[in-house]
Chains A and B, each alone.
Chain A
Amino acid sequence: MTAPTTMLPRPFRVTRTSRDTQDTRTLDLEAVDGAPLTFAAGQFTMLHAFGVGEVPISISGDPGRPETLRHTIRNVGSVSRALAGASAGTVLGVRGPFGTGWQVRDGHGGDVVFVAGGIGLAPLRPAILEVCRARGDYGRVALLYGARTPEDILFGDDLRSWGADHDIDVEVTVDSGPHAWRGNVGLVTQLIDRAAFDAARTLALICGPEVMMRHSAVALGDRGVPRSRIRLSMERNMKCGVGLCGHCQLREYFLCLDGPVLAYDVLEPLMAQAEL
């Protein structure tokens, strides 16, 4: 029997909005009933724009501050357009949180490599904040981030702070750069090849387009990171969020329930199958 709270949207009010890039907005929300939404880094909610529809959106906020629910939303369709366009004071519906988390604490005592592509940095942000809060528990930490262009780079202030204040080796690359761009141009996998980490003691967390994740996982495996220590956040068409409807089924896995975060040793054979 599904608990009613998982199927009935809770009302949350937008308290703050910010523009991250041309097509991406971040919303801060607070529960109308005042009860915080406790979540694990890597989980998502089903976010509901009343009268328009509902979509799964990963939480990009700080798990240590559950009183504020933060979502970073890219405008790619009618529902996400309505959500990204919500202004302060708008009430949205929230179901969840759902799914498995990154479990970044499994990286205690070793190195951690975050590999993000595009909007995929948003679901990783809570795990990065978790590492920042307990930085001394980890060895070397690298964030390797690929974006389409310099204008599409998310969380610029965070990237600077994570590097300067938290001893995280932040490397950013873009697919194409204008003449004035002085940073890296190329694939994020090329950053993996040169990043400093002890592969045997590394936990790697990857989020981005599936092709990018597959190539990144292979590159990390080639460096010697055990496949069981490489975790990916998968995206499929989540609907119910509780493993009933089957929309997000990946063979025997319901990604809303068993995922979205799964280890590469589980995913590798599934990712090799066309149209799965």
Chain B
Amino acid sequence: MSPAQTIEQYLPSHPFFAGLDDEAIALVTGCAVNAHFRPGQHLFREGEPADTFFVVRSGRVAIQMRLPTQAAVLDTAREGDVVGWSWLVPPYRWTFDAVATEETSVVSIDGACLRGKCETDPALGYALLQRVVQVMSTRLHSARVRLLDLYGSRP
């Protein structure tokens, strides 16, 4: 991915949006802006309203949970990864923190805007839901396998 690409050039070539028709892509790009986060800056915080999601263009994002004394990193996202699905799932509230761990550029997509469009266009809603479920499935699989603590036992 070239950093010089505009959102209109970048999003249609991204696997998450592959297969969406031109009209749907136009809707998504109309709800999207570029954003940049410095190391340590939050993309979102647990408990806050989830009205956006992010496509990481470069850098790294830690998805983490605050603990009494520090935070535990549960997952990381890098170039090409999609961060955030709570914008599509009631009650539309973030369940984790997301923090940039290095200089990070993202496309920030207005999920509240897309939710409204999904309500009126079920085909678009289904297409986006399919894609979000795939992200959720990958992260759920990762979490389940890690629950096995495979490296803690003999290989």
For residue A147, CB closer than 8 A to chain B, the reply is yes
Partner of B151 from the list A152, A183, A215 (CB cut-off 8 Å) is A152
**Contacts A194-B80, A235-B155 known; A177 to B73 CB distance under 8 Å?**
yes
Chain A interface SS verdict (over half) = mixed
B67-87 residues at the A interface, CB under 8 angstroms:
70-76, 78, 80
Give the most central of A74, A146, A175: most B CB within 10 Å: A175
Q: Output the least CB separation between A269 and chain B (Å).
A: 21
Pair A182/B145 contact, Cβ less than 8 Å: no
B4 within 8 A of A: no
Closest to A119 in B: B155
Q: B149 to nearest A CB, angstroms?
A: 7
Instruction: Say how far A4's CB is from chain B's closest CB, in angstroms.
Output: 30
Are B76 and A186 closer than 8 Å at their CB atoms? yes
Q: Mark B46-86, 1 if CB is under 8 A from A, else 0.
A: 00000000000000101010000011111110101000000
Give the A-B contact count at a CB cut-off of 8 A. 82
Which residue of B64, B71, B76, B153 contacts A209 across the interface (Cβ within 8 Å)? B153
Any A CB within 8 A of the CB of B95: no
CB distance from B38 to the nearest CB of A (A): 14
Which residue of chain B has the shortest Cβ distance to A234 in the bound complex? B155
Main SS class of interface, B: mixed
Q: How far is the CA of A74 from the CA of B155 in the complex (A)?
A: 10
Say whether A251 faces chain B, with CB atoms less than 8 Å apart. no
Residue of A whose beta carbon sits closest to that of B101? A182
Q: Which residues of A contact B148 (CB under 8 A)?
A: 211
Closest chain B residue to A191, Cβ basis = B78
B 7-50 to A, binary, CB cutoff 8 A, 1 in contact else 0 = 00000000000000000000000000000000000000000000
Report A194 CB to chain B, min CB distance, Å: 7
Contact A178 B70 (CB under 8 A): yes
Q: Are A179 and B64 touching (Cβ within 8 A)? A: yes
- Does A258 make an interface contact (CB < 8 A)? no
Chain A residues, Cβ within 8 Å of B152: 148
Q: Which of B72, B138, B142 contacts A179 (CB 8 A)?
A: B72
Assess the A211–B150 pair: CB atoms within 8 A: yes
Q: Given the complex, which residues of A lie within 8 Å of B64, measured CB to CB?
A: 179
**Contact status of A74 and B154, CB under 8 A, knowing A176-B73, A186-B75:** yes
Residues of A within 8 A of B (CB): 74, 76, 117-120, 146-148, 152, 173, 175-179, 181-187, 190, 194, 207-212, 215, 235
> Which of B's residues lie within 8 Å of A, judged by CB?
60, 62, 64, 70-76, 78, 80, 101-102, 138, 141-142, 145-146, 148-155
Chosen A-B contacts, 18 in total, with CB atoms closer than 8 Å, are A74-B154, A117-B150, A117-B151, A117-B155, A120-B155, A146-B151, A148-B152, A175-B146, A175-B149, A177-B72, A178-B72, A179-B72, A182-B60, A182-B101, A183-B76, A184-B76, A186-B75, A186-B142
Instruction: A119-B154, A185-B62 given; name 15 further pairs at CB < 8 Å.
Output: A119-B151, A175-B151, A176-B146, A177-B62, A178-B70, A178-B72, A181-B73, A185-B76, A187-B146, A209-B155, A210-B155, A211-B145, A211-B148, A211-B150, A215-B145
